[in-house]
Amino acid sequence: MFKEVLLVKADGEKELYEPHKLRNSLIKAGAGSHSADKVLTDVANYIEDHLKDKKHSEIDVSELYREAFECLKKYAGDAALRYSLKRSLFELGPTGFPFEKYIAEIFKTQGYETLTGQIVMGTCVPHEVDLVAWNSEKLIMGEVKYHNDPASKSDLKVALYVSARYNDIKQNVFDYGGVVRKPSEWWLITNTKFTDTAITYAVCNGVKLLSWVYPEEGNLHDMIEDTKSHPITCLIALDSTQKRMLIDKNIILCRDLHKHTDIMEKMNFSKETIFNILEEVNQIIK
């Protein structure tokens, strides 16, 4: 086996493959030490076989992920479901509307009432706001940026655009939940990452940021795990057509499927399929 293997990311960047990082991610997903070690052994064999006839020691990170995921399914199926979480967000596409609804559902689990696609009046012009969330203490408005490409990042242009809209809206008052008030917070949320300049500018201008890995604590991944708000797109028992059918019915969270077996029956899901789906849901949220 190559002494050093480079992982090629979606944006072309390369980093050294370090097995302990993969092991940590497997453990974090819920795999036991024994299962994680089995996956590492299988992945090492895969890398050796994949690179044996090549002159370089590079492998696409998505290939490595797929192999690790397939191995994990064999040894710890429930952990495999959680391990696939990041990729499952991309299945909420190809438009951004399901992702907006999904983010709204996460805020609901935190005690907020939510609406998406609201037209609100600024000082100068009206604006379409992707997310409005409110409770007795806060009124949150935000822009939700969905990317189909894992390599895409929300950059400085996006931060400038969002900040400008915030400046036009923040002095107006709005009636949500029977309380007339100014927005308490303005958020920019994405399913991928932010560039460094976007983070610097947004923080400087009072825009709260949320991505898969930002901030370091309380990021999107943390929110999903803490609130058990896993999307149905992470379920292995559902094919892509079934996932789309459920999303079209505004069924987005795994844990809501227990309440909608009647809808799945009307969609001609077999009893066996429904049973397998609910079993996976139980594994995820247990």
Answer yes or no: is 147 within a domain. Answer: yes
For residue 55, name the pLDDT band (cuts at 50, 70, 90).
low
CA distances from 163 to 93, 157, 255, 268 (A): 25, 10, 35, 46
pLDDT tens digits along 214-227: 999 999 999 998 99
On whether residue 109 sits in a domain, the answer given is yes
- Residues 10-18: what's their mean pLDDT? 82
Q: Residue 245's domain spans which residues?
A: 230-285
Question: Do 11 and 125 share a domain, yes or no?
Answer: no
Quickly state the pLDDT bin for 15 (edges 50, 70, 90).
confident
Alpha carbons 40 and 20: distance in angstroms, whole number: 9
Contact in structure between 135 and 110 (CB atoms under 8 Å):
no
**264 and 244, same domain (yes or no):** yes
With a cut of 90, say whether residue 140 has pLDDT above it: yes
Cα–Cα dist 254/12, whole Å: 33
On whether both 34 and 121 belong to a single domain, the answer is no
Same domain for 235 and 219: no
Read off the pLDDT band of 187 (50, 70, 90): very high
Per residue in 80-129, pLDDT tens? 766 778 888 988 877 889 999 999 999 999 999 999 999 999 999 999 99
Largest separation between any pair of C-alpha atoms in the chain: 67
Long-range contacts of 167-175 (CB under 8 A, 24+ apart): 168/122, 168/123, 168/124, 168/125, 168/127, 169/120, 169/121, 169/122, 169/123, 169/127, 169/129, 169/141, 171/123, 172/120, 172/121, 172/122, 172/123, 174/120, 174/139
Question: According to the model, what pLDDT value does residue 119 have?
Answer: 97
What pLDDT shows up at residue 132?
Answer: 98
Domain shared by 182 and 221, yes or no: yes
The CATH number covering residue 131 comes to 3.40.1350.10
Q: What is the mean predicted confidence (pLDDT) over 264-285?
A: 90
Instruction: For residues 194 and 144, give the distance between their C-alpha atoms in angstroms, rounded to a whole number.
Output: 13
Last residue of a domain, one of 227, 248, 276: 227
173 and 204 within one domain: yes
Name the band, by pLDDT with cuts 50, 70 and 90, for residue 278. very high
Q: How many CB atoms neighbour CB 99 within 10 A?
A: 23
Helix/strand/coil for 155: coil
Domain boundary among 59, 83, 107: 83
Single-letter residue type at 240: S
Residue 71 maps to a domain = yes
Q: Which two tokens stand for residue 256?
A: 């809501």
Domain presence at residue 88: no
In a domain, 90, yes or no: no
Q: Domain check: are 112 and 222 in the same one?
A: yes
Asked whether residue 91 is assigned to any structural domain, the reply reads no
- Structure confidence by residue, pLDDT tens digits, 236-265: 788 888 999 999 999 999 999 999 999 999
Q: For residue 269, give both structure tokens.
A: 């899901």
In a domain, 271, yes or no: yes
* pTM value > 0.85: no
The edge-to-edge listing of strands for the beta sheet with 6-8 is 14-16, 6-8, 58-60
> Confidence class of residue 10 from pLDDT cuts 50, 70 and 90?
low
User: Are 221 and 101 part of one and the same domain?
Assistant: yes
Average model confidence (pLDDT) across the chain: 90
pLDDT of residue 246: 94
Q: Using an 8 Å Cβ cutoff, are 140 and 184 in contact?
A: yes
**Total tally of structural domains belonging to the chain:** 3
- The per-residue pLDDT for 3 is 64
Say whether both 253 and 212 belong to one domain.
Answer: no
Mean pLDDT on 116-143: 97
Q: Are residues 118 and 154 in the same domain?
A: yes
Instruction: Tell whether 104 and 15 lie within a shared domain.
Output: no
pLDDT of 69 above 90: no
- Residue 266: what pLDDT? 94
| Domain limit, last residue, from 195, 211, 227 | 227
Backbone angle region of 12, left / alpha / beta, with phi > 0 → left and psi within -120 to 50 → alpha: left
- At 175 the pLDDT is 96
Residue 167 resides in a domain: yes
Q: Enter the DSSP assignment of 150.
A: T
Q: Are residues 194 and 264 in the same domain?
A: no
Beta pairing, strands 14-16 & 207-210: unpaired
